[in-house]
Amino acid sequence: MKKKIILFALLFIGIVSYAQQDSQFTQYMYNTITVNPAYAGSRGAMSIFALHRTQWVGLDGAPVTNAVSINTPLNGSNLGLGVSVINDRIGPTHENTISADLSYTVPTSETFKLSFGVKATANLFDLDGSKLTPKVYGDVSLESFNKFTPNIGAGVYLHSDKAYLGLSVPNFIETNRYNDNDVAIAKEKITSYLIAGYVFNLNSSIKFKPALLTKMIKGAPLQADISGNFLFNDKFMLGASYRWSAALSAMAGFQISEALYIGYAYDHETTQLKHYNSGSHEVFFRFELFKNNDKITTPRFF
């Protein structure tokens, strides 16, 4: 049945292609476990991470994302374990994604390690029909709806204290979250990620790290995030990134203590949406618990 829906719902349909794929983070390099399960435990500490992202401020129904994760190496083994929860609110929809990650790491040289990881995910999708206004009163296709879908994924992650390279597919199963007259409006497609980064010591007090994230989805243009971050005196970070044909971003971070790091990013849209919003904001903190004296003596970007 064809129907006209208020602007709020049109916004939902218009951005659903973004919504139903993996959540988008400008500062992904600090929360790599969301895209690659092999990252779990790779920092050699129990790492607790929390992030809040407000997308396209000023646009009704725009995405709001909250993410929390914890990952740690397991004592006396090459195993790492991680758990993450992501909540996405977009227009009349809510999604909660809960993931568990397990990694196994083997040394490949004096400086590099290779990690293999698997991910198990549970997704709970909810459509609040009360936020939609159909043309035809009582249209049952616009009633509230919820659905549970499981998924599995895997990844590999080659890393040292200065460099990383990873390839992952967080979800191997393509799922439909919501269909309208047998047309999949909310659909999660199989997504592949390639990530890479390297830290250059420019002098005794300044480090520079270029990084890359590419996101490949069948039937969609390749998405690439290219960033460059400077770290001053192992304490203060300033950087910028470009999301191909989407946004320019500025980033800042501060190592408050050996255990606590905070960061902020602002995105300026480069598409036509820039005329209808005032940008996107992202803030996070990371708290780490080191065991005994096995500390990361040099703060890392990843």
137-168 per-position pLDDT tens digit? 655 556 677 889 999 999 999 999 999 999 99
CB atoms within 10 A of CB 254: 12
Q: Is the pLDDT of residue 187 over 60?
A: yes
As beta bridge partners, residue 183 has 180
pLDDT, residue 205, reads 95
Question: By percentage, how much of the chain surpasses pLDDT 90?
Answer: 62
129: alpha, beta or left, given left = phi > 0 and alpha = psi -120 to 50?
alpha
Q: What is the mean pLDDT of residues 180-206?
A: 81
Domain boundaries, the chain: 1-10+28-291
Strands 191-198 and 163-169: antiparallel
Identify the CA nearest to 284 among candidates 22, 84, 92.
84
Report the mean per-residue pLDDT for the chain. Answer: 85
Residue 174: its pLDDT value, please? 87
CA–CA dist 40, 38 (Å, integer)? 5
User: 24-76: per-residue pLDDT in tens?
Assistant: 899 988 889 999 999 999 998 999 999 999 999 998 889 999 999 999 999 87
pLDDT at 292 over 80: no
CA neighbor of 170 nearest in space, from 186, 193, 187, 147: 193
Q: With beta carbons less than 8 A apart as the criterion, state whether 265 and 251 touch.
A: yes
pLDDT of residue 16: 42
Under the banding of pLDDT at 50, 70 and 90, the label for residue 128 is confident
User: What pLDDT does residue 53 have?
Assistant: 97
Handedness of CA 281, 92, 243, 191 (dihedral sign): positive
Burial per residue of 96-116, b for 16 or more beta-carbon CB atoms within 10 angstroms, e otherwise: ebebebbbbbeeeeeeeebbb
Assess contact for 44 and 115: CB atoms under 8 A: no
pTM of the model: 0.85
CATH of domain 1-10+28-291: 2.40.160.40
Query: What are the residues facing 168 on neighbouring strands?
Result: 155, 193
Token pair 């005196």 is at which residue?
Answer: 233
Partners of residue 51 on adjacent β-strands: 67, 284
Can you give the pLDDT at residue 279? 93
Mean pLDDT of 119-123: 96
- Per residue in 205-233, pLDDT (tens digit) is 999 999 999 999 877 788 999 999 999 99
Q: Kindly indicate the confidence band of residue 136, based on its pLDDT and cuts at 50, 70 and 90.
A: low
Is the predicted pLDDT of residue 117 greater than 50, yes or no?
A: yes
